[in-house]
Structure 1
Amino acid sequence: MANSINCNKCNSDGSPLLDVTSTAGLKQIAVLGMPNTGKSTFFNRLTGANASVGNWPGITVDLMAAKIKLGQQETQVVDLPGIYDLRGFSEDEEVVRKFLESNPVHLVIIILNAAQLDRQISLALQIKHIGLPALLLLNMADEAPKFGVQIEPESIARHLEMPVVQMSAKYGQGYAQARNSIVAQLGRQSEPMLAGKIDKNLVTDAEFATEMGALLQDGFHVSAEFKETITTKIDRVLLHPVFGLPIFFGLMYLMFQMVYTIGKPLQDGLNSGVEWFKTAAVEPALSFLPKFPHDLLIDGLYGGMATVAAFLPVIWIFFICMAIVEDSGYLSRSAYLMDAFMERLGLDGRSFVMSLMGFGCNVPAIMGLRVMRSPALRLLSMLVIPFSLCSARLNVFIFMTTALFNANVAPLVLFSLYLFSFAAAILTAFIFKGKYPNQEPLILELPPYRFPTVRQMLLRAWSETKHFLRFSWRFIIFGVVAIWLCNNLPTNVEPASAGTISGEIGRALQPILGPIGINPKLSVALIFGFIAKEIVLGGLAVIYATKQDAGLAGAIAKEIDWVQAYSFMLFTLLYVPCLSTVAVIKAESKSIKFAVMGVLWSLVLAWSASFIFYQGARLLGF
């Protein structure tokens, strides 16, 4: 059975859901490899990043897939999770086994790091023994000589009984040969094959060790004159036991400074553009409408969406910076640096990395916890990750810091919020580690340093920005329209006044939110922000639409001071994660009780932190 894509449904994170149905003539490729071997880089180069997320028969997780044409053949390429061993016990290894056992494939493409072949070739040997048609791509071949590694592809191919191609997915060296080999292999394989029961097809450990030793002796050689590489020299500084962590946080601060320095002028230009378009085109086109629907479309829908859209350049630059941090190999090193500290909290370095991934979006970061074998470690990490400052919150914070703080102070304020997110995660882990004890050791491979290509950075930034737009627009539209209606109903009272629905809601929440400096208008935005944090900024644009003569930033700055603004940002950072994140936590933990407990804890922590800050600042005379 081959598979085709029908993206007419959505996953829990808002991405397209694959409808897996039988289609004659469509060939299927599975891309398999160990973590940090460039598997995703090759997948994106092969498919043009034209991938969707979908579910598969017998598998409880989502996989990346793309439908492309190879030669004259329509082909679906499926990117499987990175694994170390087909006999492993992690959830990702179980996913790969189930996929190969239940989904016939015409070809398995194995991606391994050429410089680390002695530690990775076992995966290719396992594929050989389960009898699937395969092609081995030795990626990062350009780096192998730097480590004194010499490879003989012909000897390796003879032992594995499959074609072997050396390449660099990053720079494209050898890619044409790899693609031609894929097309040739597909042409030879007319019928798809199942792996059968994988465990039964694998040989004993003794036989496996003998076969692997013979393969490495013939096809893999390391020079005795191996010289110190640039990676080891850099690691002496960046992984220093004393200075490593301060350097890491210093580099993160420089990243936020860069986001402001480059992104702010772009944001201002786009904001001017959407305002000009509103005046020149949108308002004249809708001038025939009665006042109520006219204001709904202009001040509600267009105003809210335009405010969020103006921050897309900042989001785009942020993801370019994160691509550099991740693809350079520095992210793995941050896990190494933090592992000893995280272990004291019942976590490990992977939890820290996933928290950093949560800076983009909490949903995929939580889903990435499947690589952890320990259920307790996954649950504790699920409580921690929602405090990561995601891109949706970043929009709100950049706006508020720009409105209430000068250009020199704003990056420092934003950086302090990231530090608060780490502090909240640390406190949460410390409090709950006794309830979720973990004994699983961390096994971590540090890749050599690589600076991503411009193409990689742009593709990553575009992919993440596109996901942000695709996922958030429907929530933003619903939220800003709902807030505008609350702000303008009933029609016989002044908009945004105490007599409107939003006024009533804000006034009802004042006994709770008043002590932390959040006024009724900000309260309404927070309520709808539970659906998606993107709504908070769009909601503020709608709520303060009656004062657009001063601009949104000016209108807010007239009503609140910097202490209230910081308290509002602190509460937004820590309070209930978005609805999608809560849904994923419930699905991954398989417990409604756990998800509810996580929501209640975040609310208590958010209110307590904001209360201490706001009341403390007022006592000090601010």
Structure 2
Amino acid sequence: MTASTRTGAIISAHQNTIKRIGFIGQPNTGKSTFFNRITNAGAGVANWPGLTVDLLQATIEIHGHQVEFVDLPGIYDLDGFTEDERVVQKFLEEFAIDLIVVVINATQIDRQIRMPLQVKSLGLPAVVVLNMADEAKRYGVQIDCVELSDRLESPVYTISAKYGTGCAVAINGITRTIEEQPHTYQVQGLVEHLESAPVTEEYMESILEGAVQMPSVTSVTFTNRLDKWLLHPIWGLPIFFFVMFLVFWFLWSIGIPTADPVDAATGWFQERILEPVISPFPTELQDFIINGPWNGFATVLSFVPLVALFFVAMSALEDSGYLSRSAYLMDSLMSRVGLDGRGFVLQMMGFGCNVPAIMGTRVMRSRAMRLLSMLIIPLALCSARLQVFVFILAAIFPNQGGAVALFALYVISFLVAFVVAGILSLSGQFKSRDPFVLELPPYRLPTIKQVLLNVWGEMKQFVSKVTVFMIIGASLIWILTALPPGAEGLDTLAGQLGKFFSPIMDPIGINPFLTVSLIFGFVAKEVQLAGLAVIYGLSNDALGIKLSQDLTFAQGFSYCLFSLLYIPCLTTLSTIWGESKSLKFTIFSVVFSLGTAWVVSFIFYQGANLFS
């Protein structure tokens, strides 16, 4: 290993058979969108030893050579001290790299030029990609790429990752640059060097002067005009909640009918293919296959289109730039309970899945705020719970009232999170003064292709996780309902297990069979539906009819409330453990969520019966 002659931090250089390119940039710059264009959305999640987070990685053959592309977490500063910033620092110090691709939002180049200057200071070979060039042009940002490239001593390309404009040129430039790199680099003493030679505001201005011309800060844009209403101190929040109501109304009105063709397809498959194939098997095995894994799988599968529509709606809201505004709107309210707007955004992220939302708490510098956020994020109405709620609410609300009830669950999840965060912050254990900084991107019209790519990525993870947990969970529940031999109903092991918890669950209106489904829901929330199908031994439609006959409104909604707030799934819990690095805190999160769920369900159920 020989020392490099490049200026900057101490850098070790050596030959490597597989070249590696790292992508860095601030959040919301379109870095991952450009990364997906290069890798054709074929990247997978890879574990890097010693890092606290898995990274997106793809290996592509370029001109006969293997090149590894790594998408690093979005950060604001290379010498920062948030968890994600430390991940990037550690990656550059411990893993060899041939080239850095720095992705910048061209409309905010005056604020984001710091990162390529830091990379230059470290002496790392880099390519600078100015994304959203179409927006920059529309807003009057003028950039002399040739002059800027000379000053940065790195190639500079303008692109629109969203529409693909300029991407081919930028990719070819990255390819040429990586082929010209004779060495692979590892930075030593990264933070120390950046602290000893900081990138000052004066230096940034000198780099931009004459090469970049920014529009007047007083110019009126479409974003400015729209924000006058959407960020209005009085009307902003009502508009936001109305938008969210429309999302849930859309899911209810469009999503529920999508289950019918899926039910028809699974019914045809069972009758025409599955049953004839397993007919030679013993009766007990046939019963296990049909009423165990298959019934559970068919029930969950019927809600896959609904979950896909959910991801479509959330991806469109996120890509439009509106979700960032929700953080700004909620900041003053969240600060009263020890959080800030980021806590609300992470709860919104938890709509898709609690796991990435909990991992997202790394952007918070304060450990106290991180831990408080980890406690309230699992209260979010995630996609796995969504299908459970839609199924139960459709049984007790056979009309459009179910859409209102679904939206009510969303509002309740936020209100409960707000109240419990306030109570916990009073203890002084979760107090923080971490400042809240947020870039508000301009409003954008989401492209169909990008939304579909996002949904495809989410659905791949969703279906793969559901399939594994569903088969295991449904099989275990069938065993509990089939033993001891000849037993039925409450006399089975499942019934006895449910009866064991009756003293606790009866006051909140949850019967023993529903209790068993909640127990298995701890493995994964999707298993709750599979569990109900197996426990009752009914298909999707028949199960809905049975529940509509057995459950009152108070019982059904209490079940939904408990499912909304109780123990997060096993994957979420393991993430909390990994992120908090505290078994004591993880156990506390379980007790906390169980207690919160029971209290809220008890208040609702007893109140509903009192006034019924």
- Asked if TM exceeds 0.5, the reply is yes
What are the equivalent positions in structure 2 for 1:126-141 lying under 5 Å apart? 126-141=118-133
CA–CA separation in structure 2 for the residues paired with 1:75 and 1:482: 45
1:23 CA drift (Å): 11
CA deviation vs aligned residue, 1:132-154 (integer Å, no higher than 9, x gap):
11100000000112222100001
Contact 1:383 1:428 survives alignment (8 Å): no
Instruction: Give the structure 2 partner of residue 350 of structure 1.
Output: 342
Q: Which amino acid aligns with 2:289?
A: L
Instruction: Give the structure 1 partner of residue 543 of structure 2.
Output: 552
Instruction: Give the structure 2 partner of residue 273 of structure 1.
Output: 265
Q: Does 1:216 align with 2:208?
A: yes
Instruction: Give the structure 1 partner of residue 454 of structure 2.
Output: 460
Instruction: Give the structure 1 partner of residue 483 of structure 2.
Output: 489
Aligned equivalent of 2:280, options 288, 294, 317 = 288
1:222 CA drift (Å): 2.3
Contact 2:89 2:191 survives alignment (8 Å): no
Q: Which amino acid aligns with 1:284?
A: P
Q: Which amino acid aligns with 1:98?
A: K
| Identity fraction in percent | 48
Task: Find the residue that maps to 1:58 and give its secondary structure.
Answer: coil
Instruction: Give the structure 1 partner of residue 569 of structure 2.
Output: 578
Instruction: Give the structure 1 partner of residue 432 of structure 2.
Output: 438
- Number of matched pairs: 598
Q: Does 1:174 align with 2:174?
A: no
Give the unaligned 5+ runs of structure 1: 2-21
Contact 2:533 2:540 survives alignment (8 Å): no
Q: Does 1:251 align with 2:256?
A: no
Instruction: Give the structure 2 partner of residue 297 of structure 1.
Output: 289
CA deviation vs aligned residue, 1:76-121 (integer Å, no higher than 9, x gap):
1111111121121212111111111111111100000111111111
Contact 1:259 1:317 survives alignment (8 Å): yes
Q: Does 1:473 align with 2:464?
A: no
1:435 CA drift (Å): 2.0
CA–CA separation in structure 1 for the residues paired with 2:217 and 2:375: 48
Instruction: Give the structure 2 partner of residue 525 of structure 1.
Output: 517
Contact 2:15 2:182 survives alignment (8 Å): no
Question: What is the TM-score when the length of structure 2 is the normalising length?
Answer: 0.95
What are the equivalent positions in structure 2 for 1:36-51 lying under 5 Å apart? 36-51=28-43
Instruction: Give the structure 2 partner of residue 403 of structure 1.
Output: 395
Instruction: Give the structure 2 partner of residue 609 of structure 1.
Output: 600
Task: Find the residue that maps to 2:54 and give its secondary structure.
Answer: strand
Instruction: Give the structure 2 partner of residue 565 of structure 1.
Output: 556
Aligned equivalent of 1:341, options 333, 345, 348 = 333
1:514 CA drift (Å): 1.1
Q: Which amino acid aligns with 2:608?
A: A
* Cα distance, 1:228–1:482 mapped onto 2, change above 3 Å: same
Give the unaligned 5+ runs of structure 2: 2-13
Task: Find the residue that maps to 1:60 and give its secondary structure.
Answer: coil
Q: Which amino acid aligns with 1:516?
A: I
CA–CA separation in structure 2 for the residues paired with 1:225 and 1:293: 72
Instruction: Give the structure 1 partner of residue 497 of structure 2.
Output: 505
Q: Does 1:599 align with 2:590?
A: yes
Q: Does 1:620 align with 2:611?
A: yes
CA–CA separation in structure 2 for the residues paired with 1:210 and 1:234: 33
Contact 2:295 2:539 survives alignment (8 Å): no
CA–CA separation in structure 1 for the residues paired with 2:495 and 2:506: 14
Instruction: Give the structure 2 partner of residue 242 of structure 1.
Output: 234
1:200 CA drift (Å): 4.4
CA–CA separation in structure 2 for the residues paired with 1:571 and 1:582: 17
1:585 CA drift (Å): 1.1
* Cα distance, 1:89–1:24 mapped onto 2, change above 3 Å: closer
1:203 CA drift (Å): 7.8
* Cα distance, 1:285–1:174 mapped onto 2, change above 3 Å: same
1:124 CA drift (Å): 0.5
Q: Which amino acid aligns with 2:597?
A: A
Q: Which amino acid aligns with 1:478?
A: I
CA–CA separation in structure 1 for the residues paired with 2:108 and 2:40: 27
Q: Which amino acid aligns with 2:564?
A: L
Deviates further, 335-344 or 415-424: 415-424
1:226 CA drift (Å): 6.5
CA–CA separation in structure 1 for the residues paired with 2:15 and 2:474: 42
Task: Find the residue that maps to 1:170 and give its secondary structure.
Answer: coil
1:427 CA drift (Å): 1.5
Q: Which amino acid aligns with 1:92?
A: D
Task: Find the residue that maps to 2:436 and give its secondary structure.
Answer: coil
Instruction: Give the structure 1 partner of residue 411 of structure 2.
Output: 419
Instruction: Give the structure 2 partner of residue 8 of structure 1.
Output: none
